[in-house]
Copies of this chain bind each other. A is one copy, B any other.
Amino acid sequence: MVDIPTDAQTNRQVVRKRAEAKTIEPDSAITLVTVSIDEPDMETPRGDIDRLREALAKEAGIETLATDPVLLPRVQTILRKGHWTVTAAIHTDISSVPIMVALWPGEKQAVYGLAVDIGSTTIAAHLCNLQNGRTVSSAGTSNPQIRFGEDLMSRVSYVQMNPAKLPNLVKAVREAINALVGKLVGDVGAERADVLDATFVGNPVMHHLFLGIDPVELGGAPFALAASDAMILTARDLDLDLNPGARVYMLPCIAGHVGADAAAATLSESPYSLDETTLLVDVGTNAEIVLGNKNRLLAASSPTGPAFEGAEISSGQRAAPGAIERIRIDKDTLEPRFKVIGVDEWSDEEGFSEKIDSVGVTGICGSGIIEAVAEMYLAGLITEDGVIDGSMAAKTHRVRSEGRTFSYVIAEDGIEISILQTDIRAIQLAKGALYAGIKLLQDKLGTDHIDRIRFAGAFGSYIEPKYAMILGLIPDCALDGVSGVGNAAGTGARMALLNRGYRREIEETVHKIEKIETALEPKFQEHFVNAMALPNKVDPFINLRAAVELPEPKTPVEAEGTGDGRRRRRRRG
C-alpha cells in the first residue's frame, strides 16, 4: 500500500519528532557584539564598515574580521539609525576568518538558529535561541519531494529519468523549509532576519538534493557521495529565506547509505564516549546502524526496505490516525485486541467502539506490524520460520486459507485488516537484513555483547523493545538496556547548531568511524538467512528467554504452499 500522507496525517506523525529535552550548553557560531564607534570625520577618512570592523574585533578579542558583502549596502544606514551604536552578529567557525554577517542599530537581544532534519517523508525543524540554547519552537511538514517518488530510490530514479527536473526537487525541499521557518518564527514573534545560523541533517539522498546535487551516483554501487564532509555555506547559497547573512552548517555524512542524520544521531547518543557498547539503530527504508564504544565505533546500513514503515504490507499504512499501533493476541482464545492511533482505549475497553467511529480502523502501522507478528509467534500462530500454521484454523476462525497460504484476521468491521503470509515474509526480510547488518558489525567489533540498544527515529520511539527482540530485529540484550531515543538526528542537529564543540566532535567521529559496506561482506548472506527465523536460527537470545517465554519450535502443517519457492508444490485439483 502506497499512501501519500495528507497534511493531517503528516502533522500527526510530526508530533513524534518533538525536540528532546536535552540541555545543550550554548557556544554557537554566532556571537552578538554591541559597540559604539565615533562618527566619521574628514581627518580619518576610513570606511564606516572598516572602523566598525576594527572596533568589533577589539571588543570581541579577535584579530581579523571579515565582512559579508550583503552588509555593504546597508552599513551606513544602520550605523546612523543606531546613532553609532550597533550590534553585529559575528560568525566564527572553520573555513573562514571570523566574519560579520548581520548588523542591527542599537542593541539586539535575541537571535535564533534553525536545526532541521530532512527526512524523506517528514521535515522536522526546531528554532533555538542561540544565546541561551533553548528550543523555542518546533514544527514539521511533509517532504514535498514525495510527489516525485514515495521513497528514496524512487526519487533517485525520477532524477535519473528526468535530469532536467532535478531543480524541481531541490526547490521543493527548500521551499518547504522556508515555509517551516515562517511558521517557527511566527510562533515566537520573531522575524526571518533574526535567524542567523542553521544546521541540516538528512540521509545522503536528502542531503544531496537539499544541496542541489544530483543523487544519481547514490542509486548504484559504489554509492559515491558527491560530498561527505561537514561544510559551511550561506543561507543564500541554498535559497533559504533567513537573514541574508545567515550561515548553514551541514553535518557530515558517514557513507553512501549512512547519512548526516545517522551522524547527528551518533552525536546525540555519543557512544564514542562510553565504556559500554552501544548499538544505535535508525530504522527506515535503509536502516542505519552504529555500534561500538569509546575504543571503536563502526557504522553500516542495511537495506531493510519500507516494510517497517507499513509499506509493502497488505494492510500497512503510515503511523497516522486510524492505524493499529499495538496488538495483543490471547494465547488461549487466539483473539486479538489492539490500540488505534487517535483513540486512547484498547479495542476491548469500554468507550472504544464509540470513539473508533470517528477515526475508523484504516490499517496497521510499523509498530503494529511488529507486535502482530511477534504476538502471532508467541501465540503459536506462526512457526519460528515465519509460516502461518494452517492447523490453527481449527482453533480460530481468524486463521483463514488464502489459497496456498494462510492469513490471520485482526479486524473485519469495516475494512478487513489481516496479516498475510506475504506480510510476514516482508517483515522477516526487513528484520533479517537489519539483524545481519548488526551481526556483521558485531563480528568486526569481535563481541556479541551489547550493553545498550538505542532506537532512533519516530518508528524506534514507538516499538516496544520486547517485541523488537522477540522478532529478532535487534540482538539479545538486557531488556532495560533497550530504549527509543526519539528524533536523535534532530537532537544532534540542535547540538551542532548550539555548540561548535559538537561540530568538531562529530567531524572527528565521522573521520574515525569504521564504515562497513554490508554488500561487500561475504558473511552477510549467512547472517541474513539465520536472521529470517524468529528470533534467530542460531543466536540463543539468553536475555530475552529469561524475560519472555518463547514457544517451542514446531513443525507447521503444510498448506497449499508456504510462500517459500523452494518448498512450493503444484496446486492440486
Given contacts A96-B95, A237-B69, whether A47 and B253 have CB atoms under 8 Å apart is: yes
Assess the A42–B95 pair: CB atoms within 8 A. no
A549 within 8 A of B: no
Q: Decide yes or no whether A45 CB sits under 8 A from chain B.
A: yes
CB distance from A4 to the nearest CB of B (A): 28
**A45 near B255 (CB under 8 angstroms)?**
yes
A28-36, A474-482, A512-520: which lies at the B interface?
Answer: A512-520
**Copies of this chain in its oligomeric complex:** 2
Among B39, B214, B222, B234, contact of A42 (Cβ-Cβ < 8 Å): B222
Q: When chains A and B are docked, how far (Å) is the Cα of A237 from the Cα of B229?
A: 25
B229, A50: Cβ atoms under 8 Å? yes
Most buried by B among A44, A49, A221: A49
State in angstroms the CA–CA spacing of A221 and B94 once bound together.
Answer: 41
Binary CB contact string for chain A from 21 to 56 against chain B (1 if under 8 A, 0 otherwise): 000000000000000000111111111111001000
Task: Provide the bound-state CA to CA distance between A49 and B211, in Å.
Answer: 13
The smallest C-beta distance from A226 to any residue of chain B, in angstroms, reads 5
Q: Any chain B CB within 8 A of the CB of A193?
A: no
Residues of B within 8 A of A228 (CB): 45-47, 50
CB pair B45–A227 under 8 Å, yes or no, is no
The answer to whether A43 and B520 touch (CB under 8 A), given A69-B237, A211-B73, is yes
Let me know if B76 and A231 touch, CB within 8 A: no
Contact B517 A42 (CB under 8 A): yes
Q: Which residues of the other chain, B, contact A519 by a CB distance below 8 angstroms?
A: 42
The interface residues of chain B lying within 8 Å CB-to-CB of A211 are 69, 72-73
Please indicate the chain B residues that have their CB under 8 angstroms from the CB of A67 in the complex: 227, 231
- B515-A227 in contact (CB<8A): no
Q: Does A212 contact B (CB under 8 A)?
A: yes
Task: Find residues 66-98 in chain A having any chain B CB closer than 8 Å to their own CB.
Answer: 66-67, 69, 72-73, 75-77, 94-97
Find out whether the CB atom of A75 lies under 8 angstroms from the CB atom of B227: yes
Interface size class of A (residues with CB under 8 A): 35 or more
Question: Is A222 in contact with B96, judged by CB distance below 8 angstroms?
Answer: no
Decide if A224 is an interface residue (CB 8 Å cutoff).
yes
Report how far A41 CA is from B67 CA in the complex, Å.
Answer: 40
Judge whether A448 is part of the interface by a CB distance below 8 angstroms: no
CB-CB under 8 A for A47 and B222, given A72-B212, A73-B214, A519-B42: no
User: Contacting A72 at CB < 8 Å: which of B94, B96, B226, B254?
Assistant: B226
Residues of B within 8 A of A254 (CB): 45
A496 to B226 Cα, complex, angstroms: 35
Contact call B256/A42, Cβ cutoff below 8 A: yes
Identify A225's interface contact among B47, B94, B95, CB under 8 A: B47
Given that A66-B95, A95-B96, A97-B95 are known contacts, is A214 also in contact with B76, CB under 8 Å in the complex? yes
Q: Is the CB of A224 within 8 A of B72?
A: no
Q: Which residues of B contact A73 (CB under 8 A)?
A: 211-214, 226
Partner of A233, one of B39, B69, B94, B223: B69
In the assembled complex, which residues on chain B have CB atoms less than 8 Å from the CB atom of A345? none
Q: Which residues of B contact A214 (CB under 8 A)?
A: 73, 76-77
With a cutoff of 8 Å between Cβ atoms, the chain B residues found around residue A41 in the complex are: 222
Establish whether residues A224 and B76, one from each chain, have CB atoms under 8 Å apart when the complex forms. yes
Nearest Cβ on chain B to A548's Cβ, whole angstroms: 38
Kindly list chain B residues whose C-beta atoms are within 8 Å of the C-beta of A96: 66, 95-97
Known contacts A43-B517, A517-B42: A72-B256 contact under CB 8 Å? no
Contacts of A45 in B (CB 8 A): 222-225, 228, 254-256, 258, 515, 517
Interface: A217 (CB within 8 A): yes
Residues of A within 8 A of B (CB): 39-50, 53, 64, 66-67, 69, 72-73, 75-77, 94-97, 211-214, 217, 221-229, 231, 233-234, 237, 253-256, 258, 515, 517, 519-520
Can you give 18 contacting A-B residue pairs, CB < 8 Å? Answer: A42-B222, A42-B223, A42-B520, A43-B515, A45-B222, A45-B223, A45-B515, A47-B229, A47-B253, A53-B229, A69-B237, A72-B212, A73-B211, A73-B214, A73-B226, A75-B226, A76-B214, A96-B96
Interchain residue pairs A-B with the least CB separation, the first 6: A47-B228, A45-B255, A40-B224, A42-B517, A47-B227, A47-B225
